């Protein structure tokens, strides 16, 4: 769902709010609309780490949004990690914080750097561990432009497969196992 498809007339709690908080409100409202559209009898909740889940617990979900897109994925078969990131040159400023030396060998393009960031965000969601070090405790391998592998170095026995596609200058990433 496009963020612009969500009403801009969402009630605000304070008289003066930044555009960031208005956008966050629109993103949250968009997630609620998506969930209600597909599963109107479920309630969205969050655990103590901020990870979303639905009640009753009928399936796993993952949520992501950027300034343009809102995504909601669900599965009865597996836990999910979904991430949406805009392909933006600003990522160049932080590559030394999240790219391991091995990953530098195959991340020559802005798209590939953004893909690695997306996958690492998904891995954090999959492991439910926000304290993982992006550079040293998460590893990503590129199979081709759409298919990737990733794991936590703390759980190397659990390798996740990821599928990435591009939509209007944003990358959308989701695990497939």
Q: How far is residue 140's CA from residue 13's CA, in Å, rounded to a whole number?
A: 41
Q: How far is residue 51's CA from residue 125's CA, in Å, rounded to a whole number?
A: 7
Task: Decide: helix, strand or coil at residue 152.
Answer: strand
Q: Which tokens is 99 given?
A: 């790219």
Query: Could you state, in order of their start, the residue ranges of all structural domains in the chain?
Result: 3-75, 82-175
Question: What per-residue string of b and e applies to 94-121 under the rule 16 or more CB within 10 Å gives b?
Answer: eeeebbbeebeeebeeeebbbbbbbbbb
φ/ψ of 84, rounded to 5, equals -125, 125
- In CATH terms, the fold of domain 82-175 is Ribosomal Protein L22; Chain A (3.90.470)
Burial (CB count within 10 angstroms: exposed 0-12, middle 13-18, buried 19+), residue 7:
exposed
Task: Decide: helix, strand or coil at residue 53.
Answer: strand
Residue 139 vs residues 128, 132, 150: alpha-carbon distances, Å? 16, 11, 5
* Tens-level pLDDT at each residue, the chain (177 residues): 766 666 544 333 333 445 557 777 888 888 889 999 999 999 999 888 888 999 999 999 999 988 889 999 999 988 999 999 999 999 999 999 999 999 999 999 999 999 999 999 999 999 988 899 999 999 999 999 999 999 999 887 799 999 999 999 999 999 999
Q: Which tokens is 169 given?
A: 């200058």
Residue 104 vs residues 3, 96, 135: alpha-carbon distances, Å? 33, 9, 11
């Amino acid at each position: 769902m496009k963020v612009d498809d969500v009403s801009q007339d969402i009630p605000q709690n304070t008289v003066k709010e930044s555009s960031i908080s208005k956008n966050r409100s629109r993103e949250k409202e968009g997630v609620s609309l998506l969930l209600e559209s597909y599963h109107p009898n479920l309630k969205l909740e969050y655990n103590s780490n901020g990870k979303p889940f639905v009640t009753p617990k009928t399936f796993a979900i993952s949520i992501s949004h950027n300034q343009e897109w809102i995504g909601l994925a669900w599965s009865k078969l597996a836990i999910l990690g979904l991430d949406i990131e805009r392909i933006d040159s600003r990522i160049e400023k932080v590559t030394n914080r999240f790219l391991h030396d091995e990953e530098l060998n195959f991340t020559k393009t802005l798209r590939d750097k953004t893909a690695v960031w997306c996958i690492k965000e998904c891995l954090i969601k999959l492991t439910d561990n926000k304290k993982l070090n992006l550079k040293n405790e998460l590893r990503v391998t590129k199979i081709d432009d759409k298919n990737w592998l990733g794991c936590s170095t703390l759980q190397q026995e659990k390798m996740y497969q990821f599928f990435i596609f591009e939509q209007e200058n944003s990358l959308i990433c989701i695990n497939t196992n």
